[in-house]
Structure 1
C-alpha cells in the first residue's frame, strides 16, 4: 500500500499556491512544513486530511524528483526491504531507523532506485 508520495517541483511557491487552492474543495490542506535544518535547506511541505500523504519538494532536492513510500507492517519488514533493495542494486539513501521529527514511531529506510528515485518503506507502529 502506498503511504505517501513526493513530487519534485521547479517553482515551490507556484506549486504550493496551486495545490493550496486545487486541493481545498477535496478537504486536503497543507499540514506540515519540514524545517529547513531537517531537509538540508530544501523546501518541503505535506498535504493531507488527517496526516500528510502528498508532499512537494524543491526540485534541487538530492533525493530525486520522485519519492514514494510504501507501508510496512513491521520494523523488520523495513529492514528486509532495505537489505533486499541494496542487494538488487539500489543505493542507500537512509538506513533503517527512527525518524522522530515526523512522529515518535516513524521507522523508515530509503533507497535510490537505478534511476535515482527515492523509494521508502515506513512502519508507523511502535515496537513491541
Structure 2
C-alpha cells in the first residue's frame, strides 16, 4: 500500500489549491504542514493533503505532500507502508542489494512523529522510495 507521495511543485499555494480542490470529492483534505526547521538538513517544508483515514488510527490512510521544486529537480518520492520495523529493515536491505543508493538507513524519525520508523533508498534514475512503519497504523489484513 502506498502511504505517501511527495510531489515537487513550482508554486506551493497554487498547487495546494489545485490538489485540495481536486481531491475534496474523494474525502481528502488539507491537514497540515511540516516545517523543515524541526528536522534534519535536507528535509524540505511539506504541505499535506490526506484521505479520510490518514492519521485516524482506525485504518491505514494515504497522503500527498507538496514540496517546493528545486532547480533541475525531477523524479518521484514514494512512501511504502510496512507493517513492522523489521519489514522496513528487510525492504531497505533488499533495495540496497538490488543496487539502490542509501539515502537514510533504517531508524526512528521522531522529527516527523513518535513511532515513525523509516529507511530511504534511491533507484538508478534518482527516484526515491521510503519504506515506513507508523506505529499508530493498525495492522493490515492481507
How far is 1:41 from its partner?
Answer: 7.2
8 Å CA contact 1:63–1:112 kept in 2: the answer is: no
Q: Residue 33 of structure 1 aligns with which residue?
A: 33
CA RMSD of aligned residues (A): 2.5
1:1-128 alignment runs, 5 A limit: 1-37=1-37, 38=39, 40=42, 42-48=44-50, 49-51=52-54, 53-60=63-70, 65-125=75-135
How far is 1:75 from its partner?
Answer: 0.7
Pick which of 12-21 and 109-118 moved more: 12-21
8 Å CA contact 1:6–1:68 kept in 2: the answer is: yes
Structure 1: tracts of 5 or more residues without a match: none
Q: Distance between the aligned counterparts of 2:31 and 2:15, measured in 1?
A: 15
How far is 1:35 from its partner?
Answer: 0.5
